Amino acid sequence: MSWTWRLETADGAATTELPVPALPSQSDAESWLGENWRELQQSGVAAVTLFEGSREVYGPMPLSDQ
């Protein structure tokens, strides 16, 4: 099962304009987000939701530098 992030705009709509890798573990997915959240935020992503396959694990989680 792969782990992926759904990227969301400020109004809660999912956006597919930015590439999001499918990762082999939750830890890898969270590390990827930790390395890329500022870039995502600057590209208009307001929040993210983590999925394992089609199962929602948690989110939406706002991308904030505070």
The partner residues of 3 in beta bridges, in order of sequence, read 23, 52
Cα dihedral sign, 13-33-37-43: negative
Global pTM value: 0.92
Q: How far apart are CA 31 and CA 47, in angstroms?
A: 16
DSSP state of 16: -
Q: What is the pLDDT of residues 10-49, one digit of tens each?
A: 999 999 889 999 999 999 999 999 999 999 999 999 999 9
Domain extent listing, the chain: 3-62
